[in-house]
Structure 1
């Protein structure tokens, strides 16, 4: 099949895909800290709003995933992963839009996300699909 005719099928994660998703996550985020290990993230997401763990596949191959959440006030896109060889085909946009649709169904009025400031390519991607840089300071503390 040629690249032009490839279609992304977006749907909820299925338990039998755990290993494939872990491999994808490890490829896309090889330097993530232990608390963001793919097996930990998948397990935690399946406990809370598992319907917001979405995968994208092309011809039966898992090529992308997005994890979102809603706390009752704001929604978050926590992680977005696209296999490197499937990038720049609109698949990331499709996954983000599917996550936004899921958040909207839960009554979410606004979605936030965080990107490392040095990750200019990802910042540009989110800006291209309508996200804006907001004047806030992001703070955190390990528990």
Structure 2
């Protein structure tokens, strides 16, 4: 990496939310049934979750929403700006998420990947994740039908 490509990772501030959401949208991570602003607000409301941002200077180029339920850690919204891929920023933001969980005594990290997202599956396999044989059930508590 060049000196201009040093990634500084820290929790986001309130004012960072629009930039984070824009990055998630550029990376194709948002879905119509999830409000990313509400996801950020929920993560920042308690001590069990955080939105981490990797910056080059003042620009957010990577993120991970990390949290735990007291037993398992979870990571969502792992994003690297398409203009900054191939610089190991994905690995860096995941290392930061793992460190955040370890610092809270969490020993197992889980994440969900859509089955057809082969490049992302390969990325996580390179980081030492293994696919597990699980069935995921979902239910909307507001009565909506489950989404694929």
TM-score, length of structure 2 as denominator length: 0.87
Describe the shift of the 1:21–1:138 C-alpha distance in structure 2 as closer, same or farther (beyond 3 A): same
Describe the shift of the 1:142–1:18 C-alpha distance in structure 2 as closer, same or farther (beyond 3 A): same
Distance in structure 1 (CA, Å) of the matches to 2:33 and 2:125: 29
| Cα offset, 1:59, TM superposition | 2.1
Residue 145 of structure 2 aligns with which residue?
none
| Cα offset, 1:111, TM superposition | 0.5
Distance in structure 1 (CA, Å) of the matches to 2:123 and 2:49: 24
Larger helix fraction of residues = 1
Describe the shift of the 1:53–1:30 C-alpha distance in structure 2 as closer, same or farther (beyond 3 A): closer
Residue 84 of structure 1 aligns with which residue?
82
SS of aligned partner of 1:41: helix
| Cα offset, 1:16, TM superposition | 1.8
1:64-111, CA deviations, whole angstroms, 9 ceiling, x for partnerless residues?
A: 110011111111112201111111210011101101111111110100
Contact 1:54 1:95 (8 Å CA) reproduced: yes
Which of 59, 62, 67 lines up with 2:60 in the alignment?
62
Distance in structure 1 (CA, Å) of the matches to 2:50 and 2:43: 8
Higher mean Cα deviation, 47-56 or 60-69? 47-56
Residue 32 of structure 2 aligns with which residue?
33
Q: Which runs of 5+ in 1 are unaligned?
A: none
The Cα RMSD (Å) is 1.6
Distance in structure 2 (CA, Å) of the matches to 1:59 and 1:96: 20
TM-score, length of structure 1 as denominator length: 0.90
Aligned residues: 140
Residue 40 of structure 2 aligns with which residue?
42
Describe the shift of the 1:95–1:30 C-alpha distance in structure 2 as closer, same or farther (beyond 3 A): closer
Residue 118 of structure 2 aligns with which residue?
120
Q: Which runs of 5+ in 2 are unaligned?
A: 142-148
1:36-89, CA deviations, whole angstroms, 9 ceiling, x for partnerless residues?
A: x22121111111237621001112211111001111111111220111111121
Distance in structure 1 (CA, Å) of the matches to 2:93 and 2:59: 15
| Cα offset, 1:30, TM superposition | 6.0
